[in-house]
Structure 1
Amino acid sequence: ICGLVALRKTRTGHFGGRTLAIAGLILSGLWIVIGIIAVVAIVVLPDDSEDHFVPAVGSCFAAEPDGNFSKSDVLPCDQPHKVEVFAVITLPGDQYPGDAAAEKFLDRCSGEFAQYAAEDAPNVDIEDLHPTAESWAEGVRTVKCLAVSEDPITGSVKG
Structure 2
Amino acid sequence: MNRITSGRFAAATGTLVIALTLGGCAAIGDLLGGGPDRDADTGEFTESGDVDVFDLQVGDCLNLGETGELSSAAVVPCSEPHTEEIFHEFQMEDGDWPGEDAVEQAADEGCYAAFEAFVGTAYEDSTLDYVFLSPLEDGWNDPNVEDRLVQCVIYEPTDDGPKELTGSLEGAAR
Q: TM-score, normalised by structure 2?
A: 0.54
The answer to whether the 8 A contact 1:118-1:157 is kept is no
The reply on whether 1:89 has 2:98 as its aligned counterpart is: no
Question: Which of the residues 145, 148, 151 maps onto 1:141?
Answer: 148
Matches within 5 A, 1:18-97: 47=27, 53-63=54-64, 66=68, 70=72, 73-97=74-98
The ranges of structure 1 where at least 4 consecutive aligned residues each deviate by more than 6 angstroms after the TM superposition are none
Give the secondary-structure state (helix, strand or coil) at the position aligned to 2:105.
Answer: helix
Runs of at least 5 residues in structure 1 that lack an aligned partner in the other structure: 1-45
1 or 2, which has the higher helix percentage? 1
Normalised TM-score (structure 1): 0.59
How far 1:68 moved relative to its partner? 5.6
Cα RMSD after superposing both structures? 2.6
In 1, distance between residues paired with 2:98 and 2:107?
A: 11
Between structures 1 and 2, the one with greater strand share:
2
1:85/1:67 CA distance change after superposition, 3 Å: farther
Which of 1 and 2 has higher RCO (CA within 8 Å, sep 6+)? 2
Q: 1:151 and 2:163 equivalent?
A: yes
Q: Please tell me whether the aligned partners of residues 125 and 147 of structure 1 are also in contact (alpha carbons under 8 angstroms).
A: yes
Q: How many residues align?
A: 111
Question: Rg: which structure is higher?
Answer: 1
Unaligned runs of 5+ in 2: 1-25, 30-50, 157-161
Q: Equivalent residue of 2:83, what SS?
A: strand
CA offsets per residue over residues 56-85 of structure 1, 9 Å max, x none? 1110101257566637x2211111111110
Residues 143, 54 of structure 1: CA spacing in aligned structure 2 closer, same or farther, 3 A cutoff?
farther
